[in-house]
Structure 1
Amino acid sequence: MKEKEFAELIPQLPEELALECLTRLHYSAHRVSSLVCRRWCELIRSRDFYYHRKQTGFTRKVACLVQAIPVHDSDSKPVAQPRYGISVFDPVTLCWDWVEPVPKYPDGLPLFCQVASTEGKLIVMGGWNPASWDPVKDVFVYDFTTRKWVQCADMTSTRSFFAMAAVEGKVLIAGGHDESKNALNSAWLFDIKKNEWIELTRMSEERDECEGIIIGSEFWVVSGYDTESQGAFKKSAEVYDLSTGEWRRVKDAWRASQCPRSCVGVMGGKSGNLMCWAESDSGVRVGACGFDLGDRTLVTGSAYQGAPHGFFLVDTKEGQNGKLGKIDVPVDFSGLVQSGCCVEI
């Protein structure tokens, strides 16, 4: 028997009340719930339902980390390069989990791939093939509702160590370097729904090993260096206004002397207050990464080269002056964190 076209969400309940019941489902139940009936499936997977949940406060912010996968076999030979997967950390329950591997890369993600999130989805882009170390143009989107990966339109060209951020169903990338190690000033926008790339106006400067963040309606490309000055990180940033489509240069935006990748923080949510998590505490001076999760920030790093990798939570309101509270992490999730992002599911 075919399902009625306008079947009730929940029999004998008003539509508004039924919607509120489904809105309160934990995101981990979405996959099973979407199998109940066609209407539930269409609702739960819809963009409008996501924004309704967000507006009413029923989304949850988790950290998705590009993290080294531990090897438990003590008899196995050490590998030159660890395999990386995507772990998920829930700061409310302090629980950890692994995202299903990308089908094209079942044995580990592309090295140094970039990640970002928008509308509850996780985007993985670029990096180096873990077998050949050749740069790749792959783009994948993970849907937490279906728990499946979808391969999207390739990047227009290969680039490494570029800035990347996402907002309202769109992903922005800028800078990085090409296959000849030339720093880039080009920028592109990827529309997830349309599955297409749009070229943006170029930045005024080349920026390799820069970091991308969204602040309000602006895409910030922080620091980086040009082809002739490798390793000499700029103090400036370039900012793309999503409403006008124009860039502006901000002097002295990055006061740290080191690479900004994965360690840029924003104090008080203000664009003029960028900070470096590597300088926030002596326990995370090496390999520091910081991920804003709303009321708290997850910070990872080591005290010195070769020291154990630590995981900490800090009150976001206190910013760089907040004390890092160390958290215990299961051994399966204690590996090095290369990068990551916050996903509001």
Structure 2
Amino acid sequence: MNKEKGVNNYFTNVNKFEQGDRSESVDILKSQARIMGTIEQSIIPGLPDDLALRCISKLSHGYHGKLECVSKDWRDLVRCEAYSCYKARNGWSESWLFAHSNNQLVAYDPDADRWHPLPRNEAIQDGWDHSGFACVCVSSCLLVIGGCYVSSFPREEPFVVTNVVMRFDPFKKEWKMVAGMRTPRTRFACAAVSGKVYVAGGFNLTQSS
């Protein structure tokens, strides 16, 4: 059984425990996690794992870099998808402010009072400036949608409008290309409603969309 599946199963069992199904004790949950090869020791020695999990989950995401340095178990824990869902379900997912300058996205964490540079978005090639795109947050991930790539050097095409959508996962700290828009567009309206993304208006190479 792979590590991520084991961690996800651990969170499922902890959620059951917290929701009132006490047919399984925390010790049994720990034993299951050990069998899966995900958590070899107590999360925090001296504390029940469900309480330790709550303590870690309430820490700002800005401290995850330090959490990952504690142990391999902690690193796997804070990077797994179930961890982000657990934080969101309990209302512990903090709000971040994202800013863009010179093709570099940075995030401000108000709880930790820190700015964090995001990894490079591989969709942006050297020699091109990205502008006119939209950003929304869905399911604790940042989506960078569409926009226009403007060449820094004389070329046949001085700019290119794109339909590409890139998703940044702050827990895994990685970008991933997801399904693109049907129409390339830049300088458009965009909003996230009930977990879905809506776009309207904007321009492509030849006409308004």
Alignment match, 1:340: none
SS in 1 for 2:56: helix
CA shift, 1:137, in A, is 1.5
TM-score normalised to structure 2 length: 0.63
2:117 and 2:180 mapped to 1: Cα distance?
25
1:109 and 1:100 mapped to 2: Cα distance?
16
Q: How does 1:235-274 map to 2 (within 5 A)?
A: none
2:110 and 2:64 mapped to 1: Cα distance?
20
SS in 1 for 2:72: coil
Asked if the contact 1:9/1:40 (under 8 Å) is kept, the reply is: no
2:129 and 2:196 mapped to 1: Cα distance?
22
Post-superposition, which runs of at least 4 consecutive aligned residues in structure 1 deviate over 6 A? none
User: In percent, how many aligned pairs have the same letter?
Assistant: 21
Asked if the contact 1:8/1:15 (under 8 Å) is kept, the reply is: no
Which is richer in strand? Answer: 1
Distance 1:166 1:142, change over 3 A: same
1:66 counterpart letter in structure 2:
H
Q: How does 1:277-288 map to 2 (within 5 A)?
A: none
Root mean square deviation, CA, Å: 3.2
Distance 1:40 1:100, change over 3 A: closer
CA shift, 1:29, in A, is 4.0
Distance 1:8 1:36, change over 3 A: closer
How many residue pairs were aligned? Answer: 165
Alignment match, 1:113: 133
Alignment match, 1:98: 117
Alignment match, 2:35: 4
Q: Does 1:124 align with 2:144?
A: yes
Alignment match, 2:191: 165
1:119 counterpart letter in structure 2:
S
SS in 2 for 1:134: strand
1:191-215: CA deviation from partner (whole Å, max 9, x where unpaired): xxxxxxxxxxxxxxxxxxxxxxxxx
CA shift, 1:44, in A, is 4.3
Distance 1:45 1:172, change over 3 A: farther
Q: How does 1:147-166 map to 2 (within 5 A)?
A: 147-166=173-192
Distance 1:29 1:97, change over 3 A: closer
CA shift, 1:149, in A, is 0.8
Counterpart of 2:72 (choices 28, 32, 36) is 36
Asked if the contact 1:50/1:120 (under 8 Å) is kept, the reply is: yes
Alignment match, 2:51: 17
1:111-136: CA deviation from partner (whole Å, max 9, x where unpaired): 21111112221111111113231101
SS in 2 for 1:158: coil
Counterpart of 1:52 (choices 82, 86, 89) is 86
CA shift, 1:156, in A, is 1.5
1:142 and 1:22 mapped to 2: Cα distance?
22
Structure 2 unmatched runs, 5+: 3-33, 152-157
Alignment match, 1:143: 169
2:114 and 2:173 mapped to 1: Cα distance?
18
Structure 1 unmatched runs, 5+: 68-82, 185-345
SS in 1 for 2:147: coil
Alignment match, 2:14: none
Which is richer in helix? Answer: 2
- More displaced stretch, 89-98 vs 57-66: 89-98
CA shift, 1:159, in A, is 1.6
SS in 2 for 1:129: strand
Distance 1:167 1:93, change over 3 A: same
CA shift, 1:110, in A, is 1.8
1:51-110: CA deviation from partner (whole Å, max 9, x where unpaired): 43245443221210223xxxxxxxxxxxxxxx3321222334543332222113154652
